[in-house]
Structure 1
Amino acid sequence: MNKIFKIFSSSIVVPITAIVMGLIVGAIIMLFGGYDPLLAYQSLFSQVFGNLYDFGETLREITPLILTGLAVAFAFRAGLFNIGGEGQFIIGMTAASFIGIKLSGLPAIIHAPLAVIVGGIAGGLWAALAGYIKAKRGVNEVITTIMLNWTALYLGNYVVMHFLLLPGQQRSEDLPESASITIQWISDLFSNARIHWGMLLAVLAAVFFYIFLWKTKQGYELRAVGLNPHAAEYAGMNVGKNVVKAMFISGMFAGLAGACQVLGVFHYQSVLSGTPGIGFDGIAVALIGMNHPFGVLLGGILFGVLTYGSAGMSFGAGVPPELIRIVIGSIIFFIAAPGIVRFVLKPLYLKRKKGKVL
Structure 2
Amino acid sequence: MSENLTGGAAITPLAGATTPAAPVTPTPGVPENSKWHDTFLRITQGNALISVLAVVLALIVGGIMIAFTDEGVQQAAGYFFARPWDTIVAIWEAVSGAYIALFRGSIYNFGADSFARGIRPLTETLTFATPLIAAGLGVSLAFRIGMFNIGGRGQMLMASAAAGWVAFSLDLPWGIHMIVALIAGLVAGALWAGIAGALKAWTGAHEVIVTIMLNYIAFYLISWMLRTPGLLQAPGSSNPKTPAMKDTAVFPELLGPQYNLHFGFLLVILATVVVWWILSRSSLGFKFRAVGENPKAARVAGINVKSMYIIGMLIAGALVGLAGVNQVLGTITTGFSADIDAGIGFDAITVALLGRSTPWGTFAAGILFGAFKAGGFGMQAAEGIPIEIVTVVQALIVLFIAAPPLVRTIFFLPSPERDQRRREKARQKALKAEAGTVAK
TM, length-normalised to structure 2 = 0.74
CA drift at 1:196 = 1.4
Residue pairs, 1:84-123, within 5 angstroms = 84-104=151-171, 106-123=172-189
Alpha-carbon distance between aligned partners in 1 of 2:43 and 2:377, rounded to the nearest angstrom: 37
**Number of corresponding residues:** 344
Alpha-carbon distance between aligned partners in 2 of 1:343 and 1:217, rounded to the nearest angstrom: 39
CA deviation vs aligned residue, 1:193-237 (integer Å, no higher than 9, x gap)? 322111011111111111001111111111101110000000111
Q: Helix, strand or coil: the match of 1:178? A: coil
Q: Indicate conservation of the 8 Å contact 2:196/2:211, yes or no.
A: yes
Q: Helix, strand or coil: the match of 1:107? A: coil
CA deviation vs aligned residue, 1:165-203 (integer Å, no higher than 9, x gap)? 2222331111111111132x6133xx2x32211101111
Q: Report the equivalent of 1:43.
A: 101
Alpha-carbon spacing, 1:138–1:348, altered in 2? closer, same or farther (3 Å): closer
Residue pairs, 1:58-73, within 5 angstroms = 58-73=125-140
The one-letter amino acid of 1:296's match is T
The one-letter amino acid of 2:359's match is P
User: Larger C-alpha radius of gyration, 1 or 2?
Assistant: 2
Alpha-carbon spacing, 1:264–1:147, altered in 2? closer, same or farther (3 Å): same
Alpha-carbon spacing, 1:212–1:47, altered in 2? closer, same or farther (3 Å): same
Alpha-carbon distance between aligned partners in 1 of 2:304 and 2:274, rounded to the nearest angstrom: 23
CA drift at 1:56 = 2.3
Q: Indicate conservation of the 8 Å contact 1:161/1:172, yes or no.
A: no
Alpha-carbon distance between aligned partners in 1 of 2:204 and 2:127, rounded to the nearest angstrom: 38
Q: Greater relative contact order (Cα 8 A, min sep 6): structure 1 or 2?
A: 1
CA drift at 1:335 = 1.6
CA drift at 1:328 = 1.3
TM, length-normalised to structure 1 = 0.91
Alpha-carbon distance between aligned partners in 2 of 1:291 and 1:52, rounded to the nearest angstrom: 30
CA deviation vs aligned residue, 1:247-290 (integer Å, no higher than 9, x gap)? 11111111011011101111144332685211000001111111
Alpha-carbon distance between aligned partners in 2 of 1:324 and 1:247, rounded to the nearest angstrom: 31
Q: Does 1:318 align with 2:397?
A: no
Q: Report the equivalent of 1:181.
A: 251
Residue pairs, 1:1-358, within 5 angstroms = 6-9=41-44, 10-34=46-70, 36-48=94-106, 49-50=108-109, 51-104=118-171, 106-162=172-228, 163-166=231-234, 167-168=236-237, 169-183=239-253, 186-188=255-257, 191=258, 193-272=259-338, 276-346=342-412
Alpha-carbon distance between aligned partners in 2 of 1:345 and 1:124, rounded to the nearest angstrom: 42
CA deviation vs aligned residue, 1:45-89 (integer Å, no higher than 9, x gap)? 112222344332222111001011111111001100000011101
Unaligned runs of at least 5 residues, structure 1? 350-358
Alpha-carbon distance between aligned partners in 2 of 1:347 and 1:158, rounded to the nearest angstrom: 54
Alpha-carbon distance between aligned partners in 2 of 1:347 and 1:249, rounded to the nearest angstrom: 38
Moved more, 169-178 or 199-208: 169-178
Unaligned runs of at least 5 residues, structure 2? 1-32, 74-93, 110-117, 416-440
Q: Helix, strand or coil: the match of 1:108? A: coil
Q: Helix, strand or coil: the match of 2:256? A: helix
Moved more, 317-326 or 83-92: 317-326
